[in-house]
Amino acid sequence: MARPSVEPIRRRDLVHAAIRAIHQRGSLDVTMSEIANFAGVSPALAHHYFGGKDQLIVASMRHLLTELRISVVFALRQAETPRERISAVINASLAPEQFDDETVSAWLTFYHYAQSSDDAARLLTVYFSRLKSNLAGPLRQLASTNEAMMIADGAAALIDGLYLRYGSRSGAPPRNLARQLVERYIDDTLAASAATSGLQARRDT
Amino acid sequence: MARPSVEPIRRRDLVHAAIRAIHQRGSLDVTMSEIANFAGVSPALAHHYFGGKDQLIVASMRHLLTELRISVVFALRQAETPRERISAVINASLAPEQFDDETVSAWLTFYHYAQSSDDAARLLTVYFSRLKSNLAGPLRQLASTNEAMMIADGAAALIDGLYLRYGSRSGAPPRNLARQLVERYIDDTLAASAATSGLQARRDT
Amino acid sequence: MARPSVEPIRRRDLVHAAIRAIHQRGSLDVTMSEIANFAGVSPALAHHYFGGKDQLIVASMRHLLTELRISVVFALRQAETPRERISAVINASLAPEQFDDETVSAWLTFYHYAQSSDDAARLLTVYFSRLKSNLAGPLRQLASTNEAMMIADGAAALIDGLYLRYGSRSGAPPRNLARQLVERYIDDTLAASAATSGLQARRDT
Amino acid sequence: MARPSVEPIRRRDLVHAAIRAIHQRGSLDVTMSEIANFAGVSPALAHHYFGGKDQLIVASMRHLLTELRISVVFALRQAETPRERISAVINASLAPEQFDDETVSAWLTFYHYAQSSDDAARLLTVYFSRLKSNLAGPLRQLASTNEAMMIADGAAALIDGLYLRYGSRSGAPPRNLARQLVERYIDDTLAASAATSGLQARRDT
DNA sequence: AATGAATGAGCCTTCATTCAT
DNA sequence: AATGAATGAAGGCTCATTCAT
């Protein structure tokens, strides 16, 4: 009966603390001390488990990314038609928990952080391409590959742009409107795409 | 004949230097010394003219915003139809000079900075609402007010989202594709809107 | 039949580990963790057995001193004439094992350490006086007491100086030349001493 | 009439302060704060002028080396015969000012420091070879090149060994005896060398 | 007998900011 | 108008040491 090591617990606590601390600090210039305080441990311990501030920040980023992925996967599992799968991705990406103040703050900080940290930049790239391919997959069943890629690009950018504005809390459209905007984007561009290809199809005849 | 004071020159130089420095530093943690070095003056002088680092950063942000506004105004002046005015805003917002490395870095930093600085947050709000209203204006001539607002919200978010991805240089769509995506967004949503209202119109009959 | 305690083994291992660690670190700033790692135990154990870092360092110093003493004693045992006993001391002091990289590093560190630790300083004094008296003993049989003391002082300093230069690996004479230099020092000063006292003896007549 | 910059003054003060601080701390683990306090300035200033602790330490080492070189050069200038020049080097190397407590402490620290700093190691090498060549020069006029090199090696090591013992204040011979020991070393080995070559000369006949 | 967990103290370093000149 | 000189405050990080298990 091995006593379970506390390491995973501490690591998780510290990651949570980092996210909370980032939020409280206005997402700028969090210190290790602040994070450690939030976690109820000494700054030295944070170093012990993560090796340094940067790695703790990156770990927190990875944590958020993982959570998002899990909820996307979960949502996808319950979708049946391609169109439903698209909505699943949109809903998961703009889900209420993504709009927790702390989460939003953290994402914004990570965007910025990616400018100077290779690890962070890599994680952001992973996020970008994952979002795009999650959208492109079902889209390819509803439009040509070319169209699907473009629509995916647009929808992904739209999601991020809406999120960004929300994060900057400046008269951003509320969450539900945000979702609606993306859904409409999908519908309208798909419709236009269909009309065009229909036209082309007719022309081709 | 008063000798023209050097103050405006110094201020402008420092603002430019700040933007350059932000870029070079990977947009994180610029120091006053670095900025001053870029401007070829002493750090003390930057203080003298701006009163502090924060104010210099905000001034730089304001500078970028002003430049953007000028080019939007200029583009609008040459547009004639409402649809052309929409394109003018899109083109100015995604113009080549907006994609200068330095400019992109600076914008990303400002987004982040807005999280902890009220002045910066205010400027960002100004930017957001200006972009939206620049789009909503002509849109209102092409769709219902309600629709126009929604489309403007979407288009603005799309522009920012595309810009953001570009800034994070991670397989972002190239500038021209970006513009094209926004144009299509406008076209497709307008078309859908027209169809719907047409339907409604017919129904209303 | 009491099971032999592991304590002596652990202590010995830790002392060896300390010496190795000092060498690897360039002899500066060894940490307890490093030492413990070398010994394959936890840092806490090193504390448990030695009570603190200082005491472990001093113990390591004492260990080296003991080894040196043993090999001097052993060499002396096989010498017959006074001159041979002098050579025995020289050979043992400049023996190949004294020039192991790790040993040299450790000695240099100990010299330095003696500046701030009383215990270490005491050990160094022991070493100094032991070396001197080991040389002075046989010398007294070959020259006046006065002369013997002086020659012993010189020879001891010469040995240390050669060792020091060797440790700083900077074009130092190789080990064999070092031994030869000390032997010659003994021979030449003894010869000069004999000539002088001979002269004096003759004059006295 | 340019106002003389204070930089050289501060640098000199800090170097002196470093040497004093090293002594006071028992030559182990001096902190920048201590050094700065001794110099009456803030630790930040020490960094400003030297860029870091290591560089300040190395600068202090270089300072001592320079002082020694100056006094050797000065002594050499007043020597006429080769033998006098040898004595000049010995006297300068073992001059009273070299035995200031602070100076001795600093030298010992530098020996140790050279184990982990390349710059320091290089300086030490410079010292070693300079001392040897200062001795070898005049010696070559009094003995064969081969002999001269060996004697120089021995004398240099003897000087360092004596200094080392003195620094460790453990029954070391007093300064004057130290000088005498080196002088005798020179005389006796030269005499022996002469006798041998004389013998050889005779044999050769 | 041994260690994982945890920390307090302290150090080097950076940087915005001030001020006399 | 401009700057060299100087610093206070703070942050990341290291490490010897303690203690419960």
Q: Is the pLDDT assigned to residue D79 strictly greater than 70?
A: yes
Q: How far is the CA of A38 from the C1' of F9 (A)?
A: 22
Residues of A in contact with B28 (CB under 8 A): 112-113, 115-116
Q: How far is the CA of C28 from the C1' of F15 (A)?
A: 14
The per-residue pLDDT for range D136-158, each reduced to its tens digit, is: 999 999 999 999 999 999 999 99
CA distance A192 to chain B (A): 6
Considering only CA atoms, which residue is closest to the C1' of nucleotide F10?
A31
Predicted local distance difference test score (pLDDT) of residue A189: 96
Higher pLDDT, B11 or C167: B11
pLDDT average, residue stretch B39-52: 97
Closest nucleotide to D3 by C1' from CA: E21
> Which positions of strand F lie within 7 Å of protein CB atoms?
1-21
DSSP B174-203: PHHHHHHHHHHHHHHHHHHHHHHHHHHHHH
Chains C and A touch (3+ CB pairs under 8 A): no
Residues of C in contact with D188 (CB under 8 A): 185, 188-189, 191-192
CA distance A1 to chain B (A): 47
Is there a contact between C108 and D124 if contact means CB atoms under 8 Å apart?
no
For residues A76 and A89, the answer to whether their CB atoms sit within 8 Å is yes
Q: Taking all residues of chain C, what is their mean pLDDT, rounded to a whole number? A: 91
Residues of B in contact with A128 (CB under 8 A): 165, 168, 170-172
In this complex, the chains that touch B, judged by 3 or more CB pairs closer than 8 A, are A
Which residue from B108, B173, B188 is facing A115, i.e. has the nearest CB? B108
Considering only CA atoms, which residue is closest to the C1' of nucleotide E1?
C6
Residue B27 lies in a domain: no
Considering only CA atoms, which residue is closest to the C1' of nucleotide F15?
C31
Chains C and D touch (3+ CB pairs under 8 A): yes
pLDDT average, residue stretch A95-124: 90
Q: Which residues contact C71 (CB under 8 A, 6 or more apart)?
A: C92, C95, C97
pLDDT-based confidence at residue A9 (cuts at 50, 70, 90): very high
Q: What are phi and psi of C31, to 5 degrees?
A: -110, 155
Identify from B90, B163, B185 which residue to disrupt to test chain A contact, counting A C-beta atoms within 10 A and taking the largest count: B185
Is there a contact between A28 and B154 if contact means CB atoms under 8 Å apart?
no
Q: Is the pLDDT assigned to residue B203 strictly greater than 80?
A: no
Q: How far is the CA of A54 from the C1' of F13 (A)?
A: 12
Chains A and D touch (3+ CB pairs under 8 A): no
Q: How far is the CA of D98 from the C1' of F12 (A)?
A: 40
Is there a contact between D170 and C112 if contact means CB atoms under 8 Å apart?
no
Polymer length of chain B: 205
Q: How far is the CA of A6 from the C1' of E3 (A)?
A: 14
pLDDT-based confidence at residue B198 (cuts at 50, 70, 90): low
Predicted local distance difference test score (pLDDT) of residue C199: 57
Is there a contact between C27 and D116 if contact means CB atoms under 8 Å apart?
yes
Which residue from A108, A124, A171 is facing B125, i.e. has the nearest CB? A171
Residue B7 lies in a domain: no
SS3 letters for chain A?
CCCCCCHHHHHHHHHHHHHHHHHHCCCCCCCHHHHHHHHCCCHHHHHHHHCCHHHHHHHHHHHHHHHHHHHHHHHHHCCCCHHHHHHHHHHHHCCHHHHCHHHHHHHHHHHHHCCCCHHHHHHHHHHHHHHHHHHHHHHCCCCCHHHHHHHHHHHHHHHHHHHHHHHCCCCCCCHHHHHHHHHHHHHHHHHHHHHHHHHHHHHHC
Residue C14 lies in a domain: no
pLDDT average, residue stretch D90-102: 93
Closest nucleotide to C47 by C1' from CA: F17
Instruction: Report if CB A169 to strand F is under 7 Å.
Output: no
Tokens at B95, concatenated: 């113009």
Predicted local distance difference test score (pLDDT) of residue A28: 73
Q: How far is the CA of C32 from the C1' of F15 (A)?
A: 8
Instruction: Report if CB B137 to strand E is under 7 Å.
Output: no
CA distance A76 to chain B (A): 24
CA distance D64 to D28: 18
Instruction: Report if CB A7 to strand E is under 7 Å.
Output: yes
Tokens at B5, concatenated: 């004071």
Which residues from 32-91 of B have any strand F atom under 7 Å from their CB? 41-45, 48
Residue B80 lies in a domain: yes
Instruction: Report if CB A70 to strand E is under 7 Å.
Output: no
Q: Which residues contact B187 (CB under 8 A, 6 or more apart)?
A: A192
Nearest CA in chain D to C156: D161
CA distance A176 to A178: 5
CA distance B15 to B11: 6
Q: How far is the CA of D122 from the C1' of E9 (A)?
A: 35
Residues of C in contact with D181 (CB under 8 A): 150, 153-154, 157
Q: Any idea of the CA torsion for C145, C148, C154, C156, to the nearest 10 degrees? A: -110
CA distance A44 to chain B (A): 24
In this complex, the chains that touch A, judged by 3 or more CB pairs closer than 8 A, are B
Q: Is the pLDDT assigned to residue D1 strictly greater than 50?
A: no
The model's pTM is 0.91
Predicted local distance difference test score (pLDDT) of residue C190: 96
Which residues from 11-70 of A have any strand F atom under 7 Å from their CB? 30-33, 43-44, 47-48, 51-54
- The domain tally of chain C equals 1
pLDDT average, residue stretch D185-205: 76
The per-residue pLDDT for range A79-95, each reduced to its tens digit, is: 999 999 999 999 999 99
Sign of CA dihedral B168, B173, B178, B181: negative
Q: How far is CA B50 from CA A18, A166, B58, B61, in A?
A: 33, 31, 10, 13
The per-residue pLDDT for range A22-75, each reduced to its tens digit, is: 999 888 789 999 999 999 999 999 999 999 999 999 999 999 999 999 999 999
Higher pLDDT, A201 or A115: A115
Considering only CA atoms, which residue is closest to the C1' of nucleotide F1?
B6
Closest nucleotide to D56 by C1' from CA: E12
Q: How far is CA A14 from CA A51, A108, A118, A200, in A?
A: 13, 19, 22, 57
pLDDT-based confidence at residue B133 (cuts at 50, 70, 90): very high
Percent pLDDT > 70 in chain D is 92
Residue C165 lies in a domain: yes
CATH code at position B152: 1.10.357.10
Instruction: Report if CB B47 to strand E is under 7 Å.
Output: yes
**Count of CB pairs separated by less than 8 Å, A with B:** 156
Residue C97 lies in a domain: yes
Instruction: Report if CB C25 to strand F is under 7 Å.
Output: no
Is there a contact between B157 and A181 if contact means CB atoms under 8 Å apart?
yes
Higher pLDDT, B2 or A197: A197
Closest nucleotide to B42 by C1' from CA: F3
Q: Is the pLDDT assigned to residue C173 strictly greater than 60?
A: yes
Amino acid at A89: V
Structural domain for A78, as ranges: 57-204
> Which positions of strand E lie within 7 Å of protein CB atoms?
1-21
For residues B17 and B36, the answer to whether their CB atoms sit within 8 Å is yes
Predicted local distance difference test score (pLDDT) of residue B26: 82
pLDDT-based confidence at residue B3 (cuts at 50, 70, 90): low
For residues B108 and B30, the answer to whether their CB atoms sit within 8 Å is no
The per-residue pLDDT for range B176-196, each reduced to its tens digit, is: 999 999 999 999 999 998 887
Q: Is the pLDDT assigned to residue A1 strictly greater than 50?
A: no
The per-residue pLDDT for range C101-113, each reduced to its tens digit, is: 888 889 888 888 8
Residue A3 lies in a domain: no
pLDDT-based confidence at residue B2 (cuts at 50, 70, 90): low
Predicted local distance difference test score (pLDDT) of residue D136: 98
Directed axis angle between helix A101-113 and helix A7-24, to 10°?
90
Residue C19 lies in a domain: no
Which residue from A26, A115, A173 is facing B115, i.e. has the nearest CB? A26
